[in-house]
Amino acid sequence: MVNIPANVIELMNKEGTVKALVTSSKKGMPHAIIAGTIMSPAPNTMVIGEVLMKVSSKNLKENEEAAFLITSGTEAYEINCKVKARLDKGPELDGMNKVLETMHMHAAAIWIFTVEAVFDQSASPKAGTKLA
Amino acid sequence: MVQMLPIVMDMLIRPETHKVMSTVSADGQPHSIVCGSLIVIDPETIAVGKVNMYTTCKNLETNRKVEFLAWLGREAYGIQAEAVGRITEGPILEKMNQHLNKMNMFAYELWAFRVCSVYDEGVGELAGTRII
């Protein structure tokens, strides 16, 4: 387990930053989704609310490896993660659904991930550099 | 093999559209990159300029399945495709490098992908629906 660098978390929390979850089926077919519910409650943890996410959820049950892509302009980072838990009840889910309610959305569960590695993916010669 | 609808190709070629390309490593780790060097060769074929793309190319050597996610606002399409080869010379590579030159980038080659299926990935109940 590693910690996400502070500048990556800062970019993640910035308005306008694009955040994607990438999963893979057990047959190796990748699948990416854009989600506003992606966040990092602690530097070694990523979470996402399960809003729709039918294919992603199926993939995560088959293959616990996942990645989050965080990008704004030419700056981009990839956070490699592994599934820790899926919570379909409890205060964490209630808290997320209070926020989602204002956007007329509802999460059936929260997926929690441990962070395994962080890479710079910016459009620059640094692309591919492991940061953590 | 399938043919992309004009609305999907338009989403792919518009410069303001966000585009992400995802691959999976041999051991199941998904990987995504922001994809600025993408062109549509014909309704069945997409090409991407090899600019950096170290992990992506390594993944493609062992697993040829890819997914392109293109979106703008609430509209999004997921295009599943398969790598069919590299283009190392000719007018398509020259056209790509004319485009990349404006961003001070250069591609030595292109990866060509054959489209296998297309999904609606927009925000809404249709998310995940196969359209081709």
- What ipTM was reported for this prediction? 0.93
CATH-assigned architecture of domain B6-130: Roll (2.30)
**Overall domain count for chain A:** 1
- The pTM for the full model equals 0.94
B52 touching A (Cβ < 8 Å): yes
- Token pair of A21 as six digits: 């979850």
Domain ranges of chain B: 6-130
Pick from B55, B66, B78: which is nearest to A128 by CB? B55
Cα distances from A120 to residues A56, A87, B24, in angstroms, run 24, 30, 18
Q: Is residue A25 part of a domain?
A: yes
Count CB pairs under 8 A between chains A and B.
90
| Segment B2-37, tens digit of pLDDT | 999 999 999 999 989 999 999 999 999 999 999 989
Q: Residue A114's domain spans which residues?
A: 6-120
Q: Is residue A131 part of a domain?
A: no
Sign, Cα dihedral of B7, B57, B116, B69: negative
- Binary contact (A63, B28; C-beta < 8 A): yes
| Segment A58-108, tens digit of pLDDT | 999 999 999 999 999 989 999 999 999 999 999 999 999 998 999 888 999
- Binary contact (B65, A67; C-beta < 8 A): no
Q: Is residue A61 part of a domain?
A: yes
Pick from A29, A54, A67: which is nearest to B32 by CB? A67
- State the CATH number of the domain containing residue A61: 2.30.110.10
